[in-house]
Structures are given as C-alpha cells and as structure tokens.
Amino acid sequence: MAGEDKPKIFENGRDMMLSLGVIVVGMVAVVGTTGLCTINPETSDLSAVREVDGEAFLDMEARGAQGAIRVPDVPEDWVANSARRAGIAQQPASVVGWVTPGEAYLSSWQTQVSLDDAISSFDEHFREETETVNIDGQDVTVASSAENNVREVWAFDLDDERVLLTGTASDADFEELVRAFLAVDPVDIGAADAGADASH
C-alpha cells in the first residue's frame, strides 16, 4: 500500500536528477534576473578595491632584479591594488597599479628592455608612437592605437631602466606618476637590507 502512494517522481534516481536539474535552472534564472551576479572585465580592477603594499613589493623586486627599481612616492589618496611580476619582450617587468580618487586606474611597468622593444612588446596590440611629451626635462613617448579599446602607453628611459605607464587615468595623473619616478633614485639594496635587519 505504502509503495503505491509514493510520488512517482521519486521512483528512481533518474527522476531525482531531473528534479534537481529543474531546481538549479530555476536558481540560475532568479540570480540572473535580479542582477546579483555580474562580471565586468573592463572595470574588474576597480569593482572591489583591495589594497596591497606596492612599496614592499618593489623593495623585494629590487633585491632580485638585474637592474634598477624605483619606488615612486605617489599621492596619499592613490590606493595600490595590484603588484605583480609580468614580462615584456621575454624579460621580467615589475608592475604596480593604483586606483586614483576618480576611480580610474594607472599602472607602472619597470623593465630593463630597450624603450623601443618595451613599447612594441608591451602586449599583443600594435601602438604607434604618436607624441612626445616633455615633463620636467624628461622626454616621454606616448604610443597609441587606432583601436578604441587599446589604452595608451606612456614610456620613458631613465638610463638605468625603462618605465611604462598605462591605464584609464587622466593625463594629469599620468604626468603626476612620471614626476614621482623622476623624483626618486633606484632602491639602494644595501640600505633596504639594513632596514630589514633592523626591524627584526
């Protein structure tokens, strides 16, 4: 008797799997229509700012680098939210990114690659050197693309290293970051190590 009253949907494993499938599809539909789950690759760096210690990262990079590394003194209201090692022309590049007060993004790439190679090998997109800007006596090459979704690169040669800047920030912010690099010397490895020892 009890067997005859059992709902037919639960008679076998196949029916149970179908029921679960219907539930999952329903949940996906609800989440999709309420907008609780969104992905925006263009603004993923800004959607949830998580602060990182960009200065400490560059200090560590300086100890292992084959050339100069600078730690720019950026405005206090810039938030470092990314720090990583990347590659340009098959050579390492030390990268730090900041979110500015206007919620724009700006990143610096430090490398030992020549300026021309650094620009041409920055990523898979072709950029043409369209302008040279002089900032406090430093020539800065601006390279841009005809493609709307490809960001400009500002690049300059500090003799002991090359620095490239890119992002969504304003020209004024780009100029601010150039000046921050011009204002500092490369990390003194001996001084950095002495400071680390003193802290222990």
User: What does the pLDDT look like over 154-198, one tens digit per residue?
Assistant: 999 999 999 999 999 999 999 999 999 999 999 987 655 555 555
27 lies in the same domain as 53: no
Tell me, yes or no, whether 40 lies in a domain: no
pLDDT greater at residue 90 or residue 43: 90
Tell me, yes or no, whether 200 lies in a domain: no
pLDDT at residue 112 in the model: 96
15 lies in the same domain as 89: no
What Rg do the C-alpha atoms of the chain give, in angstroms? 25
Going by pLDDT thresholds of 50, 70 and 90, the confidence category of residue 42 is very low
Number of domains in the chain: 2
Average predicted confidence (pLDDT) for the chain: 82
Q: Cβ-count burial of 52 within 10 angstroms (0-12 exposed, 13-18 middle, 19+ buried)? A: middle
pLDDT at residue 118 in the model: 97
Question: What's the CATH number where 160 sits?
Answer: 3.30.200.100
In the chain, what is the straight-line distance between the N-terminal and C-terminal CA atoms, in Å? 78
Tell me, yes or no, whether 155 lies in a domain: yes
Tell me, yes or no, whether 39 lies in a domain: no
Residue 62 domain boundaries: 45-192
185 lies in the same domain as 109: yes
Going by pLDDT thresholds of 50, 70 and 90, the confidence category of residue 39 is very low
Tell me, yes or no, whether 126 lies in a domain: yes
By 3-state DSSP, what share of the chain in percent is helix, strand and coil, each rounded to 5? Answer: 40, 25, 35
Write out the two tokens for 161.
Answer: 């290293």
Going by pLDDT thresholds of 50, 70 and 90, the confidence category of residue 15 is low
Tell me, yes or no, whether 173 lies in a domain: yes
Q: Give pLDDT tens digits for 43-83.
A: 444 456 789 999 999 999 999 877 999 999 999 999 999 99
